[in-house]
């Protein structure tokens, strides 16, 4: 034990003297005190001395260190692979029985001397509850990664790992297991390591989104084991009709890999299902992996984006480059003098420097057709032209230019930008614009404010608004091409710039829809995923509201109907439908507001993706590597008793004792406070009892 204090411990001597003086002089001239018997006098002075000294002792701030000794039992962690491939072999019944016996034997042999923890691993790491061997994927590395995190700096005696060694998500578990220092891993192998006679559709590559009347490539990888000198037929079907087939020629090799490419015509719009079939070969045991269904969203239109300017400019090139990966957009450029009113109507216009070659007819056309427009106002657009646009007012304008930096507006909530994009805006170089203070017109939402040094101004640099029924955006300055270069200089990519431009353009395209219902969701999900719909409803002022009740209806491809209602969540709606059976679903959402009905509908699919079907044999080499590298040992699951005996006989798996230090301030001890209270109370009671007040 060690003692420390806020003041020197030499102060204890003055404390003793002060306590002694207080106990003596407080009663020295008291006539009542002198009349009492000796025992009472000693008791009163002793109590007074004790209470004063204890009070002074607490004021010194003494802290002492207390050392406790604790024991920690070794933890035996049992991790069981709960994926479906564990019971896809001949020994499936024995696997289920042996895992139950293993758990019972662990509790019988180690229940008192060890801490026993049981977990399962499939697509997720879970505390063992229901061992059903139905997980559709295996992320074995996640199991060891989770053990490392949960048992950091703990006394792990050993890890018992029951698995067939197959993993289809994540990395080799050997890398994650290396973090478990000085912890032996005893692996117990299940399944058959001899490859079965099998052929399977290993992988498919295709575009999720294609356009009507176009072709898209479908690449299919075929893998086979122990199929030699035979042929199979690989075919693709759509709506019950075969649309293509190729022959798979197997040679004399036991393990083979083939790749095929089909060009598919997208002739029907909507969510289309394509079946891939691999014909059966005699002796093939697993037929589930011979069939696979893919889903492609075929759309019949793209949004047309038109760039207008008096001359080519690097700003336009930078924006077109950012939008090039958006398959829902086609971007074209026209010189302002070549634009002909009456040609195909664009869905959105980006007008660069309207002050150069300004055309009133074009402006009236955009207003009349309510075409959303993004204006880039550089130094060549003066206040006279900007006033005609009716989107901005420039005050105190002089015939000189200004360099303006931007700062993200933290109050902007119209759409969401990533944190890295928000941060990048503060580093972007300045834009060149006309000198003067800026006032946006009409209802606006500011994305980026102007900044001078570290001071953010109220004047906007990039904002959105609405002029009657026409949505618009304004970038007050030219030179955004420098933002793209800055992005690449700092991050070696253009991700932040591309995100800013794409989300801004998408917002303007959505805004033209005006008041009404908006639904968002994932169109493709696995059978293990939760089906979640998000919805928003905008009133005439384009403000999100949650007063209307929104009904949701699903219809499966088997004719089954599900009904649900969206629940309000903040300023939007949410509906969680949980897990659904694989298949194609037609959905429709409906609500009524102020006597008007709003509807949305579409499709989504739940895919039956079971990676476990592709496992033709157990991979016990992975289990052997895990054991050898950690000082454990590999055995088949049926020999689990030998592993338990070895764990029991190991000297390095033992209870450890460690010191635990605690620093305690005397003033925090309730016992001392109680003693002080008792001393003062006893002194008061004695004085009162013997008639002194």
In tens, the pLDDT along 360-384 reads 888 888 888 888 999 999 888 887 8
For the chain, how far is it from start to end, CA to CA, in angstroms? Answer: 44
198-299 under CATH 2.60.40.10, yes or no: yes
How many C-beta neighbours within 10 Å does residue 111 have? Answer: 10
* Whole-number Å distance between alpha carbons of 220 and 551: 40
φ/ψ (deg, to 5) at 404: -125, 125
In tens, the pLDDT along 400-458 reads 888 899 999 988 877 788 889 999 999 999 999 888 888 887 767 899 999 988 888 88
pLDDT at 397 > cutoff 60 = no
pLDDT at 335 > cutoff 60 = yes
pLDDT at 609 > cutoff 80 = no
* Whole-number Å distance between alpha carbons of 410 and 417: 11
Higher-confidence residue of 45 and 658: namely 45
Reduce the secondary structure of 551-600 to three states and give it as a string: EEEEEECCCCEEEEECEEECCEEEEECCCCCCEEEEEEEEEEECCEEEEE
In tens, the pLDDT along 186-196 reads 999 988 777 77
For residue 613, the model assigns a pLDDT of: 65
Identify the CATH assignment for 303-511 out of 3.40.50.880, 3.90.105.10, 3.30.2010.20, 1.20.1090.10: 3.40.50.880
For residue 693, the model assigns a pLDDT of: 63
Q: Tell me the pLDDT band of 514, cut-offs 50, 70 and 90.
A: very low
Share of the chain above pLDDT 70, in %: 95
In tens, the pLDDT along 461-474 reads 999 988 777 889 99
* Whole-number Å distance between alpha carbons of 183 and 218: 47
* Whole-number Å distance between alpha carbons of 688 and 686: 5
Q: pTM above 0.75?
A: no
* Whole-number Å distance between alpha carbons of 445 and 15: 70
Q: Tell me the pLDDT band of 301, cut-offs 50, 70 and 90.
A: low
Q: Residue 103: which residues within 8 A CB-CB, separation 6 or more?
A: 78, 118
Would you call 329 helix, strand, or coil by DSSP? strand
C-beta of residue 237 within 8 angstroms of C-beta of residue 249 = no
pLDDT at 158 > cutoff 70 = yes
Please, what is the average pLDDT of the chain? 85
pLDDT at 221 > cutoff 70 = yes
Which of 434, 377, 431 minimizes the C-alpha distance to 400? 434
Given phi > 0 = left and psi -120 to 50 = alpha, else beta, which region is 447?
A: alpha
Instruction: Tell me what the mean pLDDT of segment 24-49 comes to.
Output: 82
φ/ψ (deg, to 5) at 311: -160, 155
Domains 198-299 and 516-607 alike in fold: yes
φ/ψ (deg, to 5) at 650: -75, 135
As separate numbers, helices (DSSP H) first and strands (DSSP E) second, the chain gives 15, 38
Instruction: List the alpha helices (DSSP H) in 63-172.
Output: 92-110, 140-150
* Whole-number Å distance between alpha carbons of 178 and 147: 12
pLDDT at 385 > cutoff 70 = yes
Assign domain 516-607 to a CATH class: mainly beta
Domain ranges (residues) in the chain: 3-68+662-689, 74-194+617-654, 198-299, 303-511, 516-607
Strand 185-189 and strand 241-249: pairing?
A: unpaired
pLDDT at 358 > cutoff 90 = no
Higher-confidence residue of 383 and 398: namely 383
Strand 524-526 and strand 596-607: pairing?
A: parallel
* Whole-number Å distance between alpha carbons of 554 and 19: 85
The tally of CA atoms less than 13 A away on the side-chain side of residue 206 is 29
Share of the chain above pLDDT 90, in %: 29
In tens, the pLDDT along 553-577 reads 999 888 889 999 999 988 889 999 8
For residue 289, the model assigns a pLDDT of: 81
Which of 638, 654, 629, 623 minimizes the C-alpha distance to 79? 623
Q: Tell me the pLDDT band of 112, cut-offs 50, 70 and 90.
A: confident
Q: Tell me the pLDDT band of 208, cut-offs 50, 70 and 90.
A: confident
* Whole-number Å distance between alpha carbons of 26 and 71: 53
Domain 74-194+617-654: CATH superfamily is von Willebrand factor, type A domain (3.40.50.410)
Strands (E), 50-171: 62-72, 75-81, 115-121, 125-127, 156-163
For residue 615, the model assigns a pLDDT of: 66
Q: Cα 129 to the chain's mean position, in Å?
A: 26
């Amino acid at each position: 034990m060690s003692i420390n204090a806020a003041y020197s411990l030499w102060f204890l001597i003055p404390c003793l003297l002060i306590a002694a003086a207080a106990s003596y002089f407080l009663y020295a001239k008291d006539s009542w005190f002198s009349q009492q018997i000796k025992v009472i006098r000693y008791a009163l002075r002793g109590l007074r001395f004790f209470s004063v000294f204890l009070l002074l002792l607490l004021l010194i701030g003494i802290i002492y260190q207390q050392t406790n000794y604790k024991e920690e039992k070794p933890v035996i962690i049992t991790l069981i692979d709960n994926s479906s491939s564990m019971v896809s072999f001949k020994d499936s019944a024995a696997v289920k029985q042996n895992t139950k016996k293993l758990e019972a034997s662990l509790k019988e042999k180690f229940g008192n001397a060890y801490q026993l923890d049981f977990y399962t691993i499939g697509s997720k790491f879970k505390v063992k509850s229901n061992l059903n061997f139905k997980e559709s994927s295996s992320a074995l590395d996640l199991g060891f990664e989770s053990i490392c995190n949960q048992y950091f700096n703990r006394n792990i005696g050993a890890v018992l790992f029951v698995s067939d060694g197959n993993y289809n998500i994540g990395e080799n578990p050997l890398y994650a297991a290396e973090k478990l220092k000085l912890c032996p891993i005893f692996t117990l192998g299940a399944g058959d390591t001899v490859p079965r006679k099998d052929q399977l559709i290993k992988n498919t590559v295709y575009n999720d989104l294609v356009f009507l009347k176009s072709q898209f490539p479908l690449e299919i990888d075929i893998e086979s084991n122990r199929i030699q000198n035979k042929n199979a037929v690989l075919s693709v079907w759509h709506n019950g009709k075969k649309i293509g087939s190729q022959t798979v020629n197997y040679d004399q090799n036991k393990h083979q890999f083939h790749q095929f490419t089909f060009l598919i015509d997208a002739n029907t719009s909507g969510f289309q299902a394509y079946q891939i079939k691999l014909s059966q070969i005699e002796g093939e045991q697993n037929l589930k992996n011979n069939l696979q269904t893919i889903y492609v969203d075929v759309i019949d239109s793209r949004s047309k984006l038109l760039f207008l300017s008096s001359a080519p400019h690097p700003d336009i090139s930078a924006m077109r480059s950012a939008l090039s990966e958006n398959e829902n957009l086609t971007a074209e450029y026209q010189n302002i003098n070549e634009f002909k009113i009456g040609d195909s109507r664009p869905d959105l216009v980006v007008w660069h420097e309207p002050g150069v070659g300004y055309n009133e007819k074009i402006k009236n056309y955009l207003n009349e057709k309510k075409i959303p427009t993004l204006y880039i106002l550089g130094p060549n657009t003066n206040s006279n032209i900007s006033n005609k646009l009716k989107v901005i007012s420039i005050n105190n304008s002089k015939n000189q230019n200004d360099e303006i930096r931007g700062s993200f507006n933290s109050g902007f909530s119209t759409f969401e930008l990533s944190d890295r994009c928000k941060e990048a805006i503060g580093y972007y170089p300045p834009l060149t614009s006309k000198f003067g203070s800026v006032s946006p017109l009409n209802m606006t939402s500011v994305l980026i404010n102007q900044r001078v040094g570290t001071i953010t101004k109220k004047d906007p640099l990039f904002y959105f608004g609405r002029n009657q029924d026409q949505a618009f955006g304004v970038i007050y300055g030219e030179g955004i091409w420098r933002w793209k270069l800055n992005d690449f200089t700092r991050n070696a990519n253009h991700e932040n710039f591309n995100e800013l431009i794409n989300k801004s353009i998408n917002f303007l395209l959505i805004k033209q829809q005006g008041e009404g219902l908006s639904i968002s969701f994932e169109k493709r999900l696995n059978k293990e995923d939760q089906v979640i719909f998000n919805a928003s409803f905008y009133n005439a002022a384009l403000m999100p509201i949650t007063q209307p009740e929104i009904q949701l209806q699903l219809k499966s491809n088997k004719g089954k109907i599900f009904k649900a209602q969206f629940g309000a969540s903040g300023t939007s709606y949410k509906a969680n439908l949980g897990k659904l059976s694989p298949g194609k679903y037609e959905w429709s959402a409906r609500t009524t507001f102020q006597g008007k009905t709003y509807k949305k509908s579409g499709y989504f699919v739940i895919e039956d993706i079971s990676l476990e079907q592709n496992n033709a044999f157990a991979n016990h080499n992975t289990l052997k590597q895990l054991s050898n590298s950690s000082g454990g040992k590999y055995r088949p699951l049926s020999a689990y008793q030998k592993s338990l005996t070895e764990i029991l006989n190991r000297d390095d798996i033992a209870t450890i004792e460690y010191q635990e230090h605690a620093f305690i301030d005397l003033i925090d001890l309730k016992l001392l406070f109680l003693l002080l209270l008792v001393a003062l109370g006893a002194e008061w009671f004695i004085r009162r009892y013997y008639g002194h007040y």
